[in-house]
Amino acid sequence: MSTQADLSRPAGGGHDADEEAVAIARKRASEGKKAEAKLGMMLCAPAALVMVAVMAYPIAYAFWLSLFRADLRTPDQNEFVGLSNYVTVLSSPIWWTAFGVTAFITVVSVILELVLGMLLAIVMHRTIIGRGLVRTSALVPYAIVTVVAAFSWRFAWSQDLGWLAGSSAPLTDRWSSIAIIILAEVWKTVPFMALLLMAGLALVPEDLHKAAAMDGGSAWQRFWMITVPLVMPSILVAVLFRTLDAFRVFDNIFVLTSGANETSSVSMVAYNNLIRGLNLGIGSTMSVLIFITIAIIAVVFTKLFGAAAPGSDEGGRR
């Protein structure tokens, strides 16, 4: 080994020796690090393999399929068509209508969830009496299976049958249907939002609220100038989770309207093509497009995280 050689050299120029010692120390350290990294890789490998098997492979396969004309009704006519499936989908009004509906549902429901979730989080955070009961009951909607909840909403809004509908039939009209879909989504996920936000609220020291009160802040000012900036990382995580979820909205729409009156989301359209229509090529193309959209959303949010971590000194030390 080279260390042997180094040691055998005369300890002549002290300065030189110093530098060499540093170099050796560095090398040793990096060797240790390397071994550690190797062990780390090996420990991660099984999990990574499973991930590849259940995620990377289907994604890659979907992408592969999206480059073919592949229709299960005519399995003999499979043919490589390049990106022409993408051209077909991206120039189809059905896709863009669904995309618009999905985006609308996503934006509106996430905003509502954030506002209501924050309110609920503050209530749960501040309650002193019956705290456990308040928290448990707030979480009930989240514990109910989405499809079951969706059926309840459907009955509730059925003409002459439902307790909410009366003689109207809101699920037969486009905008009222979308409103009900949003309602069902919001009702179900506000507790989840609140839970994430409450974890953030718990991280804001009580002394900061007191200090802000002493500094002359009203409750409203304290919320906007102290709480919100400090909870921002939690808000971003919660909003990211919900945005990704909401963009893939499926079960509520499937149960409530089945996509009637142009209320399909992109997932519904992809499902209709892929499973109902057996058109693997077009369906896979849509899936890939949904995947890409979601990836873009995720990247944008993660960029925002970096800027939102409170207490970080971007300027660095001087």
Contacts of 172 (CB under 8 A, 6+ apart): 159, 260, 261
205 binds another protein (CB under 8 A): yes
Site string for another protein, 99-138 (x = CB under 8 A): ----------------------------------------
Question: Which range in 17-25, 35-43, 46-54, 307-315 contacts another protein by CB under 8 A?
Answer: 307-315
Torsion of CA 95, 99, 105, 107, to 10 degrees: 180
Which is closer to another protein, CB of 22 or CB of 203?
203
What DSSP element (H or E) covers 284? helix 280-308
203 binds another protein (CB under 8 A): no
Question: Which range in 67-75, 176-184, 266-274, 306-314 contacts another protein by CB under 8 A?
Answer: 306-314
CB of 305 to another protein, least distance (A): 14
Length of the chain: 318
CB of 236 to another protein, least distance (A): 14
Distance, in Å, from the CA atom of 119 to the CA atom of 106, rounded to the nearest integer, reads 20
Q: Pick the binder of another protein from 114, 229, 241, 245 (CB under 8 A).
A: 229
Q: 145, 188 in Cβ contact below 8 A?
A: no
Question: Which range in 42-50, 146-154, 204-212, 295-303 contacts another protein by CB under 8 A?
Answer: 204-212
Which amino acid does the sequence have at 108?
V
Q: Which residue has the tokens 């934006």?
A: 107
Site for another protein in 169-198 (CB under 8 A): none
CB of 181 to another protein, least distance (A): 37
313 binds another protein (CB under 8 A): yes
Contacts of 298 (CB under 8 A, 6+ apart): 240, 244
Which is closer to another protein, CB of 107 or CB of 199?
199
The distance from CA 25 to its chain's CA centroid, rounded to whole angstroms, is: 44
Which is closer to another protein, CB of 166 or CB of 310?
310
Contacts of 148 (CB under 8 A, 6+ apart): none
221 binds another protein (CB under 8 A): yes
Rg (CA), the chain: 28
315 binds another protein (CB under 8 A): yes
Question: Which range in 59-67, 117-125, 160-168, 220-228 contacts another protein by CB under 8 A?
Answer: 220-228
306 binds another protein (CB under 8 A): no
CB of 310 to another protein, least distance (A): 4
Q: 264, 98 in Cβ contact below 8 A?
A: yes
- Integer angstrom CA distances of residue 42 from 47, 57, 310: 10, 21, 35
Dihedral angle sign, alpha carbons of residues 210, 212, 217, 220:
negative
Binding site residues, another protein, CB under 8 A: 205, 207-208, 210-218, 221, 225-226, 229-230, 310-313, 315, 317-318
